[in-house]
Amino acid sequence: MIAIAELRRLTPQEYFEWEAQQELRYEYFDGEVFAMTGGSLPHADIALNIASILREHMRGRCKVRNSDAKVGITEKGPFTYPDVSVSCDERDRTAQQFTRYPCLIVEVLSPSTEAYDRGEKFALYRQMESLQEYVLVGSETKTVEVFRRDQQGTWMFIPYGEGDEIELMSVGLTIPIAAIYEDVILAPSENQESPLAEAG
């Protein structure tokens, strides 16, 4: 994310009106706006796969929204753009500006935003009582991490790897990890030897 230094602090309403005139999307924190940078093609492919699987499963019951849809931590912000969000709350079905009561949020990790997604952003999301699961999906390796809130409000961590099936209890769905990475071409690992290097 890139902060826009020249802007004065905006109210939430001023932010909505200002952002509607911009070409980029901007997240909003305490009166400041931050430009959302574009992700890689694997990042986009993974997010589309997840949104498609969830939408098919939740059709007619819950709203599945992609990274063009804001989530409001409160009515006055902060406002973020998760890669995928699911809300089964009737208030979000008719919302016009942002989702307020998601039960599931998915972020596809990028090297530039991974620390933010794991740290500050997750801390914000934990403030929402409606949120039951937060999912981090690798865009460079086939890894999925599910953080699930139990009945006592404690967050549990469940890691998944290649060949596993991912259980999303918030939406009553089990997804093979292979489906998340279907038709996704990940960049070769830096640990892998290049064919050119071997030939040399």
70-96 burial, b at 16+ Cβ within 10 Å, e below that, comes to bbbbeeebbbbbbbbbbbbeeebeebe
From first to last of the 200 residues of the chain, give the pLDDT tens digit. 445 545 789 999 999 999 999 999 999 999 999 998 778 999 999 999 999 999 999 999 999 999 999 999 999 999 999 999 999 999 999 999 999 999 999 999 999 889 999 999 999 999 999 999 999 999 999 999 999 999 999 999 999 999 999 999 999 999 999 999 999 999 876 544 444 434 43
Q: Report the number of distinct structural domains present in the chain.
A: 2
In-domain check, residue 103: yes
In-domain check, residue 91: yes
Domain match, 114 and 70 both: yes
Q: Which domain holds residue 51?
A: 39-186
Domain match, 3 and 61 both: no
Domain match, 101 and 32 both: no
pLDDT at 196: 44
Distances (CA, A) of 190 to 33, 40, 140: 34, 17, 11
pTM exceeds 0.95, yes or no: no
Domain match, 146 and 103 both: yes
pLDDT at 189: 64
Domain match, 172 and 134 both: yes
Domain match, 69 and 92 both: yes
In-domain check, residue 9: yes
Domain match, 66 and 26 both: no
- Cα(162)–Cα(144) distance, rounded to whole angstroms? 9
pLDDT at 190: 55
pLDDT at 3: 52
Domain match, 54 and 150 both: yes
pLDDT at 66: 96
